[in-house]
Every structure is written in structure tokens, then in C-alpha cells.
Amino acid sequence: MGCCCGNNGNGCTHNTYKITVIPGDGIGKEVMEAALHVLNASGIEFDYTFADAGDEYAEKTGVALPQETIDAVKKSQACLFGAVGESAADVIVKLRKELDLYVNLRPVHSYGKAGKFGDVDFVIVRENTEGLYSGHEEYTDEGATALRITTRSATRRICDFAFDYAKKTGRSKVTAVHKANVLKKTDGIFKEVFYQTAEKYDDIESNDFYVDATAMYLVTRPQDFDVIVTSNLFGDILSDEGAGIVGGLGLLPSANIGDKNGVFEPVHGSAPDIAGKGIANPSAMILSTVLMLEYLGEPDEARKVEKALVETIDEGKIVTSDLGGSSSTMEMAEEVARKLSKL
């Protein structure tokens, strides 16, 4: 198949990217179809490998995340992931650990009039491999116990990433979020390593808050935040709060990044309450493809996809019901694709 620029093999500068696609369950499948429709209107060629994972696959086979899917992700240049249901811990949490995708980057950005908090633009950098999601949970005679793991090395690399990211993207402040007054050892180390890292970046401001206070500050003064770096569970909770601030889970993308692989997924899950109705907002999945395009080194194309989506949201005519419209998932994606093909 020739390249979009018509110059394949003859001065063509476009790569064909090998992408693993894991649609998953519920609205994961619906928003994936929508996002691929948009990507197909971009100026980039993709070679997709579709892979299985999730509740439906587990019902058929007894396995939620087959080894072939892990291998496919390892072999591709990036992975797009929709959402899974109750098997999330066995699929996405496992994939993050297996591939050592230690960064979970979650930009919280207000688009259109969906949010009630004005212009908001901060990024949550969530540690993705340990903390309370380390997978060590067991029943005891009394009930159950979960192990909260904080290593200096994992804390250092996530803090390094947060400050590097701030520097690269022109952001001026990094805030550590923890609960070191109670979790004195695990979060004591998180805070200590954070400030050691901050010393290397004297042009970037650093401060820290407890997670409970942060939950309030996010809704009283969200504009004060720039980059937040935090542990696994706190990052999970605060990013859904961030979604609420900018207008809902249908708007928040994420990037799981390691040294070798990247997996790009909306923050939301399979949303069984709206699955099958064709009304899920595809924006979070489309914005996840924007993060993937940046990761692949295609910033111009990333900006175009984002622009087409933002114009669609700002016009407010062909948008899903959570954004005040009455269009379906695919109608909104078709509008974004139409706008993209004209850019």
C-alpha cells in the first residue's frame, strides 16, 4: 500500500508504525473503533495487530491476558488499549508491570465548556509499578493484608521523569503528593527522594502536599497545579478527580511509558452502564492517540489530531451527551476525522 504522501520509496519521509491494538471490553471496543477511524484520516500509516485481553476473552479461555498479547506489545512500536472490565488488575496492571511501564502520564486539560473550573492544565505523573498496586495482597486469619512497596530506585526514576518532563514541556513547578505524616517510611522515602531530585533542577519550583489536602486543593484552586508526581493509588484516585474537574472521564487520556514500550489508553474503564449504546465520548481515546503520536516522534500530526478534536468539542454540535450533545460515538469521531482530513 502506498504512503499517504504518494512518494513511497521515492523521497517518502513517513514511517509505517507497527501498533498493537487491544480494544478490550465494553466501551473500550467502541472508543477504539472511533479513535482508529480518526487515525485513518491522519497523514500517517499504521500497521495494526489486533490482540485479545479482558473479561470477554477470559470467559472464553480462562485467561485475561494471553502471552501472545504481551509478546505482540513487546514487538510493536506502541500499543493502543481501550479498556477492560473486572479483569483490569490481571490485564492493564499486569501489562504495566510486565513491560516495566513505570510512568503513567495523565494530562488534565480543559477543553470547551465541559468543565466547571475554568482553564485547567496540569499533568499527573503517577508511579506505575509499585505502591499499593504491587500485587502483594493476601488473606490472613483476621481479614486481608496488602503490601505497599516504595523503592528508592522506582521513586527516583519517576521523580526524574516528572522534572525532565516539566523542563521539556516548559512547565515551571513539580508538586509531590504523599501522606508522609502517616505512612512515615514508604512516603517518607518518596518525599525524601523527591527533594533530592529537585536539587538537580534549580530552574523548576518544587513543593509537596498531603494527598487529602490535595484532593481539596484540586477543586478549590486547580490552576495552582502544574506537574504532580505521586504514587500508584494516589495517582489513580486524583486522576479521576482531575477528569471530574475538566468535564468527565470521557476526556482524560493517559500514556504508560517505559524505556522500551508505550501503552496509550483512556483513564476510564469499560463503563458497563453505557456500553453497547454507542454514546461513549471517544475524546479520551482520541487524545490517547495524540500522546502516542508524540511518543512516536510525530508532534505535528499529534497537534493536528488534537486541533480537530478541540474544534469539534468547541463547536459543540456533533458531540456526545456528556458534552451536552446528542451524537453517537462514531458520529463524533467522523466529525473529528472530517476536520482532520482538511488540516
CB of 133 or CB of 163, closer to Mg ion? 133
| Residue of closest CB approach to Mg ion | 236
Which parts of the chain fold into alpha helices (H)?
27-39, 55-61, 67-75, 88-98, 152-168, 186-198, 211-220, 232-246, 283-295, 299-315, 329-342
Instruction: Report if residue 33 touches Mg ion, rule: CB under 5 A.
Output: no
End-to-end alpha-carbon separation of the chain, Å?
23
Q: What is the closest distance, in whole angstroms, from the C-beta atom of residue 282 to ligand NAI in the complex?
A: 7
**Amino acid letter for position 35:** A
What's the half-sphere exposure (Cβ side, CA atoms, 13 Å) at 119? Answer: 1
Q: How far does CA 128 lie from the centroid of its chain?
A: 11
**Amino acid letter for position 332:** M
Among candidate residues 212, 224, 259, 314, the one labeled active-site is 212
d(CA 25, CA 84): 5
Q: Which does 268 bind (CB under 5 to 8 A by kind): Mg ion, ligand NAI, none?
A: ligand NAI
Q: What is the closest distance, in whole angstroms, from the C-beta atom of residue 191 to ligand NAI in the complex?
A: 28
Q: What is the closest distance, in whole angstroms, from the C-beta atom of residue 190 to ligand NAI in the complex?
A: 23
Q: Which residues bind ligand NAI (CB under 6 A)?
A: 27, 31, 83-86, 88, 92, 248-250, 265, 268-274, 280-281, 284, 322
Strand, helix or coil at 17? strand
**240 noted as active-site residue:** yes
Residue from 236, 265, 301, 306 touching Mg ion (CB under 5 A): that is 236
Among candidate residues 111, 236, 304, 339, the one labeled active-site is 236
What's the length of the chain? 343
Residues in contact with 269: Cβ distance below 8 Å, sequence separation at least 6, in sequence order: 26, 83, 84, 85, 88
Q: What is the closest distance, in whole angstroms, from the C-beta atom of residue 32 to ligand NAI in the complex?
A: 11
Q: Using CB under 5 A, count the residues that bind Mg ion.
A: 1
| Residue of closest CB approach to ligand NAI | 269
Q: Which does 33 bind (CB under 5 to 8 A by kind): ligand NAI, Mg ion, none?
A: none
CB of 180 or CB of 249, closer to ligand NAI? 249
Q: How many CB atoms lie within 10 A of CB 6?
A: 8
The catalytic site residues sit at: 133, 179, 212, 236, 240
